[in-house]
Amino acid sequence: MILERASCRACAKITGGIEGAVLEGSLGILREKFSSPTRHKSRRTGISRRELAVRDEYGQWVGTGTLDVPVEQLPAICIFPKLNAPRIFAAPEAADGWTGTLWLWQEHVPVPAPIASSTDGTGIHIGKVNPQFFARFLAKIAHGYAVAYLGVDGFTPFLPEVILSESSDPFLYVGGFSEPPPNEAALHALEQGHAIFGDTRLALVRIRLFASLGAPEYVVVAGAYNFCCN
């Protein structure tokens, strides 16, 4: 399903930056190995330029240069933040939405030869994750899905400001569960639902990216229904 003219050019620039940070940061190698759809096919050359680093005397990684590595020699990884439930359902003093821990799936492949032969403890950068960007990324998915499912006039949206503004707290409406459920057959899973909160019927979207790998499940509060439903 494609939502035609879903955003103006200015908003598209913002959301494009968020998507790029997630899709290329923590999922770039995985998506290339899975042949995931992309609008930038020319970038998939089969070669990935990765940053190299060594640990200093304080245990911190320090960059030492870059290395061009065939994608097939790199492990596909999937890094997602573990999130608490959306804070809208919790007490005002509840902890931040991010638990401070990550879920990781990694393909097991031999270490690239230049790294394996290194004797100075060199490491190769294969991915990164920004929990704030990731939550805003989930918010965009949920907002689009809710619009497609309920219609533009079917609900009062909560998420546009979260998606477009770095100052908004995404974890008020974006959250997850402590432990992922069993693996699903589908690569990705989305589901529309609802919850009664006080006198309001909230529109929820369940999102599970790379469900077949056992990735975490997230729930996003997309807005409040504008009509009654069963």
Q: Is residue 230 part of a domain?
A: no
pLDDT in tens, 43-69: 888 888 888 888 888 888 888 889 888
Q: CA angle at residue 105 from 16 to 181, to 5 degrees? A: 95
Task: Look up the domain containing 113 and give its range.
Answer: 9-225
User: What is the pTM assigned to this prediction?
Assistant: 0.86
Beta bridge partners of 219: 175, 206
Count of structural domains, the chain: 1
Domain membership of residue 120 (yes or no) is yes
What is the β-pairing status of strands 189-197 and 77-83? unpaired
What tokens does 19 get?
A: 């998507």
**In this predicted model, which residue has the larger pLDDT, 81 or 123?**
81
**Residue 2 within any structural domain of the chain:** no
The pLDDT, as a whole number, for residue 92 is 62
